[in-house]
Amino acid sequence: MDNFTLKLCDIQGRLFELFLSTDYDVENLVKVFMNSEIAKNLDSEYNRMQWAGEEYLLEELIDTCKDKLIHKKTSVSKEALFWMGYVYRYWHFYTQEDSVKIYKQAPFETMIINYLMFHTMDVEMAIDDLKEIYNQKKSFFKHDK
């Protein structure tokens, strides 16, 4: 990873931390963000949104997705949110998968459940393990039918 991509990971981590400063539910904000045009723009090889700071990204998310946002109910630690945002962005650069596909593999609940075990791991190892969890669940439910 080069400095630019690591900076984008850091910005997205700080953006997720900022979710705590809003009147909106953080779980909902994460889901809406990961499925938004903003995340899609950050997934691009080059997009002006990649040069925006986390405050601007939050404003843009609220402005463009207000109809999808719900008021607070989920409470999460600032550290867990930063880790989640950072890992999601790193995941994109590591696998070239888009944010929508990443979120399907590791939704909010999966990230929160695994935060305590994975936040001290190498990011790539954590991503590999999250992908393995997803594949095992997918395989289990496939065989369960």
pLDDT-above-90 percentage for the chain:
78
Distance CA 15, CA 112 (A): 17
- Quote the pLDDT of residue 93: 96
Distance CA 43, CA 123 (A): 18
Q: Are 92 and 119 in contact (CB under 8 A)?
A: no
Q: Convert the pLDDT of each residue in 2-56 to its tens digit.
A: 888 899 999 999 999 999 999 999 999 999 999 999 999 999 888 777 788 899 9
Distance (Å) of CA 21 to CA 6, 29, 77, 80, 96: 24, 12, 12, 15, 30
Query: What value does the mean pLDDT take over residues 92-100?
Result: 97
pLDDT for 128 equals: 97
Tokens of 64: 């463009």
- pLDDT higher for 134 or 1? 134
Mean pLDDT for the chain?
92
Q: CB–CB of 29/22 below 8 Å?
A: yes
User: What is the band of 144 on the pLDDT scale with cuts at 50, 70, 90?
Assistant: low
More confident residue, 111 or 52: 111
Q: Tell me: pLDDT of 117 over 70.
A: yes
Determine the pLDDT at residue 35.
97
pLDDT for residue 145? 53
Phi, psi of 69, deg, nearest 5: -90, 145
Q: Are 12 and 42 in contact (CB under 8 A)?
A: yes
